Structure 1
């Protein structure tokens, strides 16, 4: 996890603590960043779905699932997992396989990137969200001299919670997934294809970064600019499936709208989710100083079960907020979003946010190209539990637990006071 240059200004965030940023870095090696998934339930010991406890390093959850499915003779659609874990880390999580052919020795499933430590049956397939959260153990290299500052920040987060920002990972390695989502929400096929096939910089007529000119990606983009979509399709790397799908559609003479629809629907939903995340982050920055107290007319989030409700009695609910039973919430805009009451401060902030970042769009974000986000509430703050800190020579070892859907970067950025991913 390193300091990042070139982060778009709209992805900047605010901080909940005033302490100066500490020096150092995280994730120089995968072993510096260890993630252990905390399950929502344990496998029962009966059923047709085999739950494997998998340790992986240097690969994505999707890649680990693909490798194991092939070795177990299971179709990809019969594989499930509760959450996607980072590739640049050592992670532990369960992955389920329907009617798997399990070898006598679990070591037969291992390779240089993954190992299986346990296999137990259960009645249902694992689905996204079937986890309580994640436990993180992180090594901060070169941060040992700032132990006191780190402890001050972590104590504050443990007491008041951390600002629940979506991490930079949410916006893709090119940091433009939210812009793709905005183009989808507006129904602007041409803008979407420019961003997808040329990138944020090239689509504005700016030169590609100096490191890229001789890469297959740069060659593909040059071919797109010259209208040679069939050749561009062949040059885009295999991993860039959305780009290849759109290029192939254009090469076949299909319209821009048809080329957008050629991008897999799950990927389009992911881009829209990134746009929703941008809007949530912007709302959180507006209300960061109010993240630990509720006010009348806003929508509160109940941490126990994820329910959302309108605050009718501010004084009564504030006691629950102080006990971290509830928190103020922000919008993930969509067609079924519960809105704050008209005339309230949170409602005014939501309207101002849409006017600034999504002009011409309403809170439902449109329904172009067959994608219609449902909408939901997300808490503005999250509890940071089981905090640990110790010095090891020139380094610090940090540990904490976060609920599902929350990013370790929201804690690390409070420590470093700079963007990390």
Structure 2
């Protein structure tokens, strides 16, 4: 089945299942997308950090922490989370606040926000505390009858279970849902062209943007008149506006224009480029008929860490002598086949997997040394390996859709480890434009 053009632009050219798509619509209601964080920590009664459970409904994580910091009259840096969660969703996660008495939480009265004190700790909540997420996701407005949908879901689920999961693609969110430009900016940065990178981010119009936004971007693209551009750029494009303000006072400092952005954002550009290359390599592996849940000679596998998750810092190359033993470990879920997120010091596979990796790097003319970015060292990346299979065991129910008379709905439940995307599972069932999943 043909994948949507927007997915091809981010390196995803195939589905791993050959079933017909359900179609349907996600997030018709916010509570149709429920995410609950799984952490591996328990809270006590002592320590400088107040630990809370946060339940939020249709709130962006960063927007919430900024708002909470204002209410509590403190620096946002004192508030920590293990991971950001979808905005248009009902999400449950832990947060920590440094040096705050539990009674202060009584000051917080925000619509669609619930905060519950769990205890105290000597450690803040950090990314390493996140093990994964539980999802309960409702797909609505499906045209087929419940019985037809049930058969289709069973067939797709059987295919997913037979291959041990789905390809561990980076979803469209990694690149920008309406405007998938992140990896293109990253490519220009790695190639050392900060001017091109800056202009791509500020001024490259995309078809799915509002007409006024496309017109504003096109004007700046053609004229480089940032001062005039600021008069037409919507206020919601705060990052682009901040970069243009920098370029008004520092006309040639294109690298510096990225430093006015939040650090977690400007680091995403290079990560996006790596993700695009990884997605492409993963598709080529599948097209060549190589399995995802079994190693072949030349593969690089990683092993479980103490938390039971794949650890890309513990890797080993598979040889003719070790391939049988390695596949026993993979079958026991103790080892995992990987593909590269390339950088300036990446370990590459050999054999057929290595040929695939090198073919893509040469085709894209990737300058590996370019990942060592002297202008902004924080953007640099040595590279890393990532497991190619997203292990998942979905369960489902099908009923009539009470919001759309005459239509059906499917409710899917599954757990995913951190760093993976629910949409990579959902796309195998729905087979729709990813914008219908955002």
What is the TM-score normalised by the length of structure 1? 0.88
- Per-residue CA deviation, residues 221-252 of structure 1 (Å, 9 max, x unaligned), is 52563333123245434443431232112211
Aligned to 1:116: 115
Question: Residues 238-387 of structure 1 correspond to what in structure 2 (within 5 A)?
Answer: 238-264=235-261, 265-288=263-286, 289-303=290-304, 304-305=308-309, 306=311, 307-312=314-319, 313-341=322-350, 344-357=351-364, 359-362=365-368, 365-370=371-376, 371-385=379-393, 387=394
Aligned to 1:35: 35
Q: 2:166 aligns with which of 128, 147, 162?
A: 162
Question: Residues 146-295 of structure 1 correspond to what in structure 2 (within 5 A)?
Answer: 146-159=149-162, 160-173=164-177, 174-201=179-206, 211-213=210-212, 215=213, 218-219=215-216, 221-223=218-220, 225-233=222-230, 235-264=232-261, 265-288=263-286, 289-295=290-296
SS in 2 for 1:402: strand
Alpha-carbon separation, structure 1, partners of 2:341 and 2:181: 18
Query: How much has 1:402 moved relative to structure 2?
Result: 0.5
SS in 2 for 1:395: strand
Question: Residues 70-149 of structure 1 correspond to what in structure 2 (within 5 A)?
Answer: 70-103=70-103, 106=106, 108-143=107-142, 144=146, 145-149=148-152
Query: How much has 1:326 moved relative to structure 2?
Result: 1.9
Structure 1 range deviating more: 237-246 or 405-414: 237-246
CA root-mean-square deviation: 2.5
Alpha-carbon separation, structure 2, partners of 1:40 and 1:122: 14
Alpha-carbon separation, structure 1, partners of 2:234 and 2:113: 25
Aligned to 1:204: none
Query: How much has 1:259 moved relative to structure 2?
Result: 4.4
- Per-residue CA deviation, residues 27-61 of structure 1 (Å, 9 max, x unaligned), is 11211100001012122332111111111122211
Alpha-carbon separation, structure 1, partners of 2:136 and 2:113: 19
Alpha-carbon separation, structure 1, partners of 2:133 and 2:24: 23
Distance 1:140 1:285, change over 3 A: same
Aligned residues: 406
Contact 1:8 1:175 in 2 (8 A): no
Alpha-carbon separation, structure 1, partners of 2:75 and 2:96: 12
Alpha-carbon separation, structure 1, partners of 2:156 and 2:113: 35
Structure 1 unpaired stretches of 5+ = 202-207
Distance 1:103 1:13, change over 3 A: farther
Alpha-carbon separation, structure 2, partners of 1:329 and 1:31: 35
